Structure 1
Amino acid sequence: MFSLSLSSLSFLLPILIYAAVATASTQFIKLPLLHKTQHPNQNSFSRSHPHPHPHHHRHRQTLKSPVISGAFAGSGQYFISLHIGSPPQPLLLVADTGSDLIWVKCSACRNCSLHSPRSTFLSRHSSSFYPHHCFQSTCRNLVPHPHPNTCNHTKLHSPCRYEYSYADGSLTSGFFSQEIITFNTTTAQQLQFKDFNFGCGFHNSGPSITGGSFNGANGVMGLGRGPISFSSQLGRRFGNKFSYCLMDYTLSPPPTSFLVIGSEQNDVVGVNSKINFTPLLMNPISPTFYYIGIKSVYVDDVKLRINPSVWSIDELGNGGTIIDSGTTLTLLAEPAYREILTAFKRRVKLPSPAEPILGFDLCVNVSGGLSTSYPKLSFELVGGSVFRPPQGNYFIETSDLVECLAMQPINQESGPSVIGNLMQQGFLFEFDRDRSRLGFSRHGCAIP
């Protein structure tokens, strides 16, 4: 088990509109991913270890969801809008490729006047809500996250209880349940999926899931590699592939982008020839994560002296590098981070701000009025592809006229490095689990 920071920053990000499309040949459903911002912190989610995903049927339909940036609530996440229950209740979930469990804040109230609208899932108001029994095979998929007392042998109908803890002591627990999820399409159709498994969290505590970094969120949508994740459950119907774009929060007006579950035939015309691929690596100790292999790092086309072992997964499952939409900043192994930081400090000649910015080792004052140009950063990946993020992905405005290097050293020696959602902005990322590869491209994100 490894914990990753849901750290966040104080900038405003666009809010996109929920939309959906359905055509005669292919279905498209668009859910908002909301980016939320706050000051950086080290509150951490404890990432689960999934189980090998089951066989997926190769359908060619596609579920397509709008990706939305959610600065309105002030955190550092992207969200998806999901409708759960009968009648459907709209909720906003953190889109997280670094975990499997889908869970929402729940209430068993009968008189729910004390709850603000859309703040929690009201299980008693849904006619289709069904908590799994503790002896069902679905409950066993929660290992190692069932509640310690999930099966009470003194009761014939003990529900399947889950308990999911985080590194800072945060905890969500409740019933692992089944529901109907609904997507409204722009053609006035409704697409429903039954037997959708999720955690109904009746007890949620701790700063990671009740503090400022979680403002506006009703739960977490796990998109990891395990069988209970959102991408796995819907992947059984739509194919074993998903993709998304996390749009640049600085763009105005905000462009619409999408989370796509399945393999879309015509969504990225002209992109396939421009997409780069790198293998997705497996770590048996942490099979939830989407690992990629980094060979080298360059600053202004100068290769940094980083020992390749810094990026490798050792025999105990430690190390490696993962792609995580649920972490804001990019977190790097200490030796790699120090080399990158030193290289930038040598090349960036702008003055430092009057006061240090908490959580950042390199910040500059950009009050000169001229456009700022930073050194070029690039990652050479296994397979020969090169990831070249624009400077806005690794230097961000943290306060008025102050910009900082949006990276931090990983705070666990054994933990993987993390390519966070800021570094991913403006790229189409395609997670192809059948071929075990990650595709990425600067083309194909913005949809007219």
Structure 2
Amino acid sequence: MSSHPSFFFLFFFLLLTLPHYSSEYLKLPLLPPTPLPSPSQLLAADLRRLSVKSPLTSGAATGSGQYFADLRLGSPPQRLLLVADTGSDLLWVKCSACRRNCSSSISAFLPRHSTSFSPHHCYDSPCQLVPHPPSHKNRLCHNRTKLHTPCRYQYSYADGSTSTGFFSKETITLNTTSSTLLTTLKKLSFGCGFRTSGPSVTGHSFNGAQGVMGLGRGPISFTSQLSNTNTKHTFSYCLLDYTLSPPPTSYLTIGPTPNDAVSQNSFTYTPLLTNPFSPSFYYISIQSVSVDGVRLPISESVFRIDAHGNGGTVVDSGTTLSFLAEPAYGKILAAFRLRVRLPAVESAATLGFDLCVNVSGVARPRLPRLRFRLAGKAVLSPPAGNYFIEPAEGVKCLAVQPVRPGSGFSVIGNLMQQGYLFEFDLDRSRIGFTRHGCAVR
């Protein structure tokens, strides 16, 4: 996408269609799924999401996100729940063509009921930013006298799922916690999907969402469209454990991180890398891995992006577990097995994991500590609860999975990110994280 000659023109065209507002911030609550998925469902959804070889194109996979943004689309506003996903760009929703006597059970956006809805024309510059159905690629807008020809898009997913419809413009009302900020945005570009098929975007794996809020690095992502000359191209989120009762509220903040939430000095930053084959993803560099303070014999090259765009490490809110490249995963697993002092669970493989331990009757089970040293002297040392999952009562399993060489990239999933405030600073091309400012509220 970044190699397109008109990339910067199209990017600024999108920004100019949005209202300008002050350099404040939007703070949106992120909601947990209902009902909560089981660990086996999470693992299955993650594997579907990552089942395609990298490099991936923008929006090539969604489906296992566990945090939802509350968004109101149209005039008058219609409430929708969208997966908050840093692994894709496009903001799209399920649409219905229903005009009259529509059932209240329809879980989709009704464009005919909105006075502000309009599809992009096929010759609009933003239309060049989305993939088109194969049947329209060669004859898209060949006759410019057809003024009402809409811009059609089609996203295809790793497991064969698709979202197809019109790339459109609409007014969006945000359910923000701030009462001082303008929260109605006009002419925001989004995909109005009249046809969705496949497990990634339907059924239980989609957890009842009506679409995806793409938070990637591309010009059509939600955060890119909201950034302009008065608002920094920065967003942050604090992901909290939604399995607690009652579940705490996680937040997505678009704009600079509020000073009253956390001091900028408390952040540790690591540079963002760019993969020209997959420009939308947030790549970081893992330089070494330690278990209980012992550095493992893993070459830094294991985590590098190769000349074909394969490999690398992505920070992704839409994947739950974490996935690490072999042979790094094998060495980490061996180190954990050597150091864990709890009884192993023989049925680990049937649960979908390589290492499970019995913690019944143990108030505070001692589990090995995992530590990542990143570029820029940053260190990510999460608590054990960020990489152990409890698929059954009294059983904890290592929530990390292997990635075969050449078959994909490593992923720091949302479970590994819990309890941290993550800041994505696109202006300075870096990611920051801190354990401060992410308290239960």
Q: Compute the TM-score of the two structures, normalised by the length of structure 2.
A: 0.85
CA distance in 2, matches of 1:112, 1:100: 34
> Which of residues 362, 366, 381 in structure 1 aligns to 2:359?
366
Are the counterparts in 1 of residues 315 and 412 from structure 2 also a CA contact under 8 Å? Answer: yes
The structure 2 residue matched to 1:173, chosen from 148, 164, 179, is 164
Q: 1:164 aligns with which of 151, 155, 162?
A: 155
Aligned to 2:88: 99
> Which of 93, 101, 125 is the equivalent residue of 1:137?
125
In 2, Cα distance between the equivalents of 1:200 and 1:323? 27
Tell me if 1:226 matches 2:212.
no
Cα deviation 1:240-280 (Å, max 9, x = unaligned): 111101112354543333211111442424x3222101001
Per mean C-alpha deviation after superposition, the further-off stretch among 201-210 and 30-39 is: 30-39
- Whether the 8 Å CA contact 2:26–2:255 is kept in 1: the answer is no
- In structure 1, C-alpha distance between the alignment counterparts of 2:181 and 2:223, rounded to whole Å: 22
Query: Number of residues paired by the alignment?
Result: 401
**Structure 2 counterpart of 1:400:** 393
Residue type of the partner of 1:169? G
Q: 1:250 to 1:48 in 2, by over 3 A?
A: same
In the aligned structure 1, how far is the partner of 2:111 from the partner of 2:381?
46
SS at match of 2:372: strand
Q: Distance in 2 between matches of 1:185 and 1:330?
A: 30
Unaligned runs of at least 5 residues, structure 2? 2-21
C-alpha displacement at 1:189, in angstroms?
Answer: 8.0
* Alpha-carbon separation, structure 1, partners of 2:280 and 2:426: 12
Q: Distance in 1 between matches of 2:296 and 2:29?
A: 40
| Residue 238 of structure 1, aligned match among 218, 231, 250 | 231
AA at the equivalent of 1:173: T
Please, which runs of 5 or more residues in structure 1 have no aligned partner?
2-23, 52-73
**Structure 2 counterpart of 1:34:** 32
Matches within 5 A, 1:284-433: 284-353=276-345, 355-356=347-348, 357-410=350-403, 413-433=406-426
Letter in structure 1 aligned against 2:120: H
TM-fit CA distance, 1:123: 1.1
Alignment partners' CA distance in 1, 2:391 and 2:292: 24
CA distance in 2, matches of 1:334, 1:185: 42
CA shift, 1:216, in A, is 1.4
2:174 counterpart residue number: 183
Q: CA deviation at 1:153?
A: 4.0
Question: Deviations 1:154-198 (Å, cap 9, x if unpaired)?
Answer: 781221111111111111111111100012456498621011001
Match of 2:267 in 1: 275
**Considering only aligned residues, what root-mean-square deviation do their CA atoms show, in Å?**
2.6
Alignment partners' CA distance in 2, 1:387 and 1:112:
53
Task: Give the structure-1-normalised TM-score.
Answer: 0.83
Change (3 A) 1:390 1:371: same
Distance 1:274 1:264 in 2: 12
Q: Is the Cα–Cα contact under 8 Å of residues 76 and 213 in structure 1 kept in the other structure?
A: no
Secondary structure at 2:336 match in 1: helix
Displacement of 1:318: 1.1
User: Superposition pairs for residues 192-211 of structure 1, below 5 Å?
Assistant: 192-211=184-203
Q: Give the equivalent residue in structure 1 for 2:113.
A: 125
Distance (Å, rounded) in 1 between the aligned partners of 2:362 and 2:433: 34
Q: CA 1:266–1:122 in structure 2 vs 1: closer, same or farther (change >3 Å)? A: same
1:67-108 per-position Cα deviation (integer Å, ceiling 9, x unaligned) = xxxxxxx97511111110011011111111111011111101
Deviations 1:206-239 (A, max 9, x none): 1111132212111111100000001100112632
Q: 1:116 to 1:141 in 2, by over 3 A?
A: same
Structure with bigger strand share is 1
Residues 125 and 190 of structure 1, relative CA distance in 2, 3 Å threshold: farther
Give the secondary-structure state (helix, strand or coil) at the position aligned to 1:31. Answer: strand
Question: In structure 2, what is the Cα distance between the partners aligned to 1:218 and 1:412?
Answer: 34
Q: Which moved more, 1:319-328 or 1:341-350?
A: 341-350
CA distance in 1, matches of 2:199, 2:268: 38
Greater mean alpha carbon deviation, residues 30-39 or residues 375-384 = 30-39
| 1:54 corresponds to | none
Give the Å deviation of 1:134.
1.1
Which range moves more in the overlay, 372-381 or 75-84?
75-84
What is the aligned partner in structure 2 of residue 43 from structure 1?
48
Q: Which amino acid aligns with 1:172?
A: S
SS in 1 for 2:134: coil
Question: Is residue 292–residue 320 contact of structure 1 (8 Å, CA) maintained in 2?
Answer: yes
